């Protein structure tokens, strides 16, 4: 009797807990499911549909959009989309490397400053990213337009032909990407530098390691988790960037994000845009997966939290 | 000696980086006071672009759209995200892998994919049912979707940081779960709720891509208006409105600095 009542109360408690889970988590889970998972699944389905008039998707199911994405059209194969993809990869790579090269010394420098200055310095790095992306990019348009001091300087140096501006160009896109993503790299690197174990550096120096070797063996491995987290935060959104190439790149600076967006913004070809989105997602997940693997292998067991 | 040169070099590099970070913003603010309609030559100080702003009904309505969108979406996301955060905490010993995937999805999805998924979804639903016409409502729905995870994670990490015995004490003190929530839980996580609200608000104001793809003809926000104006051909009015938005960010930065200072004392 006692036994059964106990199980009864326990099962009631289990039901209570499950109900609790339902009431607390269900609204949000349902919201994300209905307004993000379903739309994403729908988008994937769209990629396999036929492009109807007005760019809206229709039955029957085909693989046309993927063929178009690969560059096959009415006039045979053209390399335009392939160039766009390669350009996206290239810009992402260059921008990420440049961001690391700027952020690494900056993050280190902040940790060498007095504690009371550090919060202010970090704030100074982050504040520009609080302004809207469109405004920041507009600022660069103002700076790089023809007739501005920077463009005049570039003309004088012979980097660009006379009467041209530094934008639109691939260079302007790279610059915009570096500008946009710098804070995302500084913050995780700063966190890594702040908890740097200086005993290791001391040990290396006591053993007469050269500064180079000290850096590579005692400092760099410790900052690797921050570096990887920053790379994820920079490279993945950079790969899908839309605003910066659209405003600073011009026709020859288009990236995958523009290719995808233009199929929707112009209303020309939803299935093609959806196929591009799938490609972008695959790249994103490969990137995330690769970073996790690298993090696990090199981070010395420390999980890289993304 | 060598260390000193390194330090000096780093400090120079730091100031250069600051110039790099603030130059584009400074240029926008500077040319918003330009008398001439040019972003290359400064001919004299003038406030005429600001005067023009006040007369521009499109900009005024874009401003209100931005505000309504940011506030409504942040409040909704706060309620829904707070519930999820609490649920994740209460049931953290269970296997909730699916929930974690669901919550991280809006964060890892590239915003262009996010935006066009929503657009395709809303447009198709509207075509077949007449509901969810692209406009402020669809924008609010999309913004809440990307704000929920941030609120949930902030609330969750605040709860994890608390002493678990506090919950036992609260159970002894207050009889009903609602009283417990009202007198114990909400006051305890208030700092997390405040910072979650401000983060949601900032995310909403900062967003362009997702708003752009889910907006309707009459629900343009300030960034969407600016985008359109840039595409049509730059006017100094944009400098003025952009300068005002940069000013708002500067004020927010100063406030967070003061907030930090007080927190440290």
**What are the structural domains of chain A?**
88-298 (1.10.3720.10)
Task: Tell whether B141 is covered by a domain.
Answer: yes
pLDDT band at A5 (very low <50, low <70, confident <90, very high): low
d(CA A139, CA A162): 22
d(CA B206, CA A231): 22
What is the residue whose two structure tokens read 């929503």?
B118
A158: phi then psi, degrees, rounded to nearest 5 = 80, 15
Assigned token pair, B145: 């979707």
Residue B15 above 50 pLDDT?
Answer: yes
* Distances, alpha carbon B39 to alpha carbons A148, A247, B30, B116, in Å: 8, 16, 9, 33
Total number of residues shown for chain A: 306
State the average pLDDT for chain B: 86
Read off the pLDDT of residues A48-69 as tens digits, 9 standing for 90 and up. 877 776 656 777 777 777 777 7
Task: Tell whether B151 is covered by a domain.
Answer: yes
Rounded to 5°, angle at Cα A82 from A81 and A87? 95
Single pTM value for the model? 0.86
Identify the bridge partners of residue A72 per DSSP, sorted by sequence position.
A77
Distance (Å) from the alpha carbon of A231 to chain B's nearest alpha carbon: 13
Chain B CB within 8 Å of residue A288 CB: yes
B45: phi then psi, degrees, rounded to nearest 5 = -80, 135
Read off the pLDDT of residues A150-208 as tens digits, 9 standing for 90 and up. 877 887 787 777 777 777 888 999 999 999 999 999 999 998 888 887 788 888 888 88
Looking at per-residue pLDDT, the higher value among A113 and A301 belongs to A113
Q: Are residues B53 and B241 in contact, defined by beta-carbon separation less than 8 angstroms?
A: yes
pLDDT of residue B233: 77
Chain B CB within 8 Å of residue A163 CB: no
Read off the pLDDT of residues B26-37 as tens digits, 9 standing for 90 and up. 998 988 888 777
Integer Rg of chain B from CA: 23
B-contacting residues in A 14-73 (Cβ below 8 Å): 17, 20-21, 23-25, 27-29, 31-33, 35-40, 42-43, 46
Looking at per-residue pLDDT, the higher value among A298 and A177 belongs to A177
d(CA A247, CA A223): 35
Chain A residues with CB under 8 Å of B234 CB are: 138, 141
A73: phi then psi, degrees, rounded to nearest 5 = -135, -165
A49: phi then psi, degrees, rounded to nearest 5 = -95, 175
Assigned token pair, A111: 């940790």
CB contact under 8 A, B116 and A38: no
Q: Which residues contact A117 (CB under 8 A, 6 or more apart)?
A: none
Nearest to B110 among A33, A108, A284 (CB): A284
d(CA B123, CA B130): 9
What is the residue whose two structure tokens read 């521009």?
B56
pLDDT of residue A207: 83
Assigned token pair, A274: 């959806």
Integer Rg of chain A from CA: 25
Look up the domain containing B236 and give its range: 56-264
Chain B CB within 8 Å of residue A145 CB: yes
Q: Are residues A172 and A249 in contact, defined by beta-carbon separation less than 8 angstroms?
A: yes
d(CA A201, CA A55): 61
d(CA A28, CA B79): 9
pLDDT band at B201 (very low <50, low <70, confident <90, very high): very high
Nearest to B80 among A28, A121, A140 (CB): A28
pLDDT band at A37 (very low <50, low <70, confident <90, very high): very high
pLDDT band at A301 (very low <50, low <70, confident <90, very high): very low
pLDDT band at A101 (very low <50, low <70, confident <90, very high): very high
| Chain A residue whose CA is closest to B140 | A35
pLDDT band at B159 (very low <50, low <70, confident <90, very high): confident
Read off the pLDDT of residues B206-232 as tens digits, 9 standing for 90 and up. 899 999 999 888 888 999 999 998 888
B-contacting residues in A 192-231 (Cβ below 8 Å): none
Separate counts of helices (H) and strands (E) for chain B: 13, 0
Residue B71 above 90 pLDDT?
Answer: yes
Tell me what the mean pLDDT of segment A293-302 comes to: 64
Tell me what the mean pLDDT of segment B194-201 comes to: 90
Looking at per-residue pLDDT, the higher value among A270 and B18 belongs to B18
Question: CATH code at B165?
Answer: 1.10.3720.10
Residue A44 above 60 pLDDT?
Answer: yes
Tell me what the mean pLDDT of segment B44-65 comes to: 85
Residue B107 above 80 pLDDT?
Answer: yes
Nearest to B23 among A131, A143, A242 (CB): A143
Q: Does ipTM exceed 0.95?
A: no
d(CA A38, CA A30): 10
Chain B residues with CB under 8 Å of A143 CB are: 23-24, 27
Residue A4 above 60 pLDDT?
Answer: no
pLDDT of residue B222: 92
The tally of domains found in chain B comes to 1
d(CA B149, CA A155): 48
pLDDT band at A6 (very low <50, low <70, confident <90, very high): low
Task: Considering only the C-alpha atoms of chain B, give the largest distance between any 2 of them, rounded to a whole number of Å.
Answer: 75
Q: Are residues B116 and A260 in contact, defined by beta-carbon separation less than 8 angstroms?
A: yes
């Amino acid at each position: 009797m006692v036994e059964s009542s106990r199980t009864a109360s326990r099962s009631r408690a289990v039901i209570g807990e499950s109900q609790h889970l339902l009431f607390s988590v269900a609204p949000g889970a349902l919201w994300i499911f209905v307004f993000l998972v379903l739309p994403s699944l729908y988008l994937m389905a769209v990629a396999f549909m036929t492009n109807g008039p007005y760019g809206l998707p229709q039955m029957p199911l085909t693989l046309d959009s993927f063929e178009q994405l690969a560059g096959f059209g009415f006039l045979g194969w053209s390399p335009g989309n392939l160039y766009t993809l390669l350009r996206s990869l290239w810009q992402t790579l260059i921008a990420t490397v440049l961001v690391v090269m700027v952020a690494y010394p900056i993050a280190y420098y902040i940790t060498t400053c007095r504690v009371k200055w550090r919060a202010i310095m970090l704030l100074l790095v982050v504040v520009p990213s609080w302004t809207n992306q469109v405004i920041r990019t507009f600022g660069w348009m103002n700076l790089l337009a023809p007739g501005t001091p920077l463009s005049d300087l570039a003309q004088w140096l012979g980097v660009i032909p006379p009467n041209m501006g530094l934008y639109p160009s691939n260079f302007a896109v790279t610059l915009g990407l570096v500008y946009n993503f710098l804070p995302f790299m500084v913050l995780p690197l700063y966190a890594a530098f702040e908890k740097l174990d200086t005993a290791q550096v001391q040990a290396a120096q006591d053993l007469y390691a050269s500064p180079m070797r000290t850096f590579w063996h005692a400092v760099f491995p410790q900052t690797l988790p921050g570096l990887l987290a920053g790379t994820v935060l920079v490279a993945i959104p950079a790969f899908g960037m839309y605003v910066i190439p659209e405003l600073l790149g011009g026709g020859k600076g288009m990236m995958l994000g523009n290719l995808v967006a233009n199929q929707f913004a112009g209303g020309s070809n939803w299935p093609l845009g959806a196929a591009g989105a799938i490609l972008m997602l695959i790249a994103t997940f490969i990137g995330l997966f690769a970073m996790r693997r690298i993090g696990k292998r090199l981070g010395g067991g420390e999980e890289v939290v993304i | 000696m060598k260390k000193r040169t390194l330090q000096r070099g780093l400090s120079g590099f730091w100031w250069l980086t600051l110039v790099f970070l603030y130059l584009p913003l400074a240029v926008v603010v500077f040319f918003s006071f330009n008398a001439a309609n040019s972003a290359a030559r400064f001919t004299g100080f003038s406030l005429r672009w600001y005067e023009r702003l006040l007369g521009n009904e499109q900009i005024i309505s874009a401003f209100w759209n931005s505000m309504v969108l940011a506030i409504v979406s942040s409040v909704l996301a706060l309620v829904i995200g707070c519930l999820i955060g609490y649920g994740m905490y209460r049931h953290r010993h269970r296997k909730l892998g699916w929930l974690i995937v669901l919550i991280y999805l809006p964060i890892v999805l590239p915003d262009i994919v996010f935006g066009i998924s929503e657009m395709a979804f809303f447009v198709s639903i509207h075509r077949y049912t007449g509901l969810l016409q692209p406009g402020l409502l669809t924008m609010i729905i999309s913004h809440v979707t990307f704000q929920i995870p941030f609120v949930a994670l902030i609330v969750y990490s605040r709860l994890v940081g608390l002493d678990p015995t506090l919950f036992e004490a609260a159970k002894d003190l207050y009889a009903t779960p609602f009283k417990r929530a009202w007198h114990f839980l909400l006051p305890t996580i208030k700092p997390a709720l405040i910072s979650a609200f401000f983060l949601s608000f900032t995310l909403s104001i900062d967003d362009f891509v997702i708003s752009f793809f889910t907006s309707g003809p009459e629900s343009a926000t300030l960034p969407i208006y600016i985008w359109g104006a840039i595409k049509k051909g730059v006017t100094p009015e944009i400098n003025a409105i952009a300068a005002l938005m940069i000013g708002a960010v500067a004020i927010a930065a100063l406030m967070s600095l003061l907030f930090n200072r007080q927190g440290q004392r």
